[in-house]
């Protein structure tokens, strides 16, 4: 999926939850985005494998 096919979603979450997500993502070596998309995939939402990959420069 190209960036042209992606959209932004912003939401407010409790600070404690954001910290927990960040810590869990760091432990797993992934981004918060990847962590959330993986959770959505596990809940039954269709998420392309390429969207689960780390898109930061220098990462695979």
Per DSSP, the residues of 16-28 read: HHHHHHHHHHHHH
Contact call for residues 52 and 38 (beta carbons, < 8 A)? yes
As given in the structure block, the two tokens for residue 11 are 């939401």
The pTM for the full model equals 0.79
Start-to-end CA span in the chain (Å): 16
Mean pLDDT across 1-15: 84
Going by the DSSP 8-state scheme, the letter that residue 54 receives in this structure is: -
> Measured between alpha carbons, how far is residue 20 from residues 25, 26, 53, 60 in Å?
8, 10, 21, 24
Mean pLDDT across 13-30: 97
């Amino acid at each position: 999926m190209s960036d042209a096919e992606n959209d932004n979603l912003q939401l407010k979450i409790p600070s404690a939850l954001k910290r927990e997500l960040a810590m869990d993502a760091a432990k797993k070596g992934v981004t918060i985005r990847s962590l959330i998309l993986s959770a959505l995939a596990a809940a039954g939402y269709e998420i392309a494998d390429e969207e689960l990959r780390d898109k930061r420069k220098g990462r695979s």
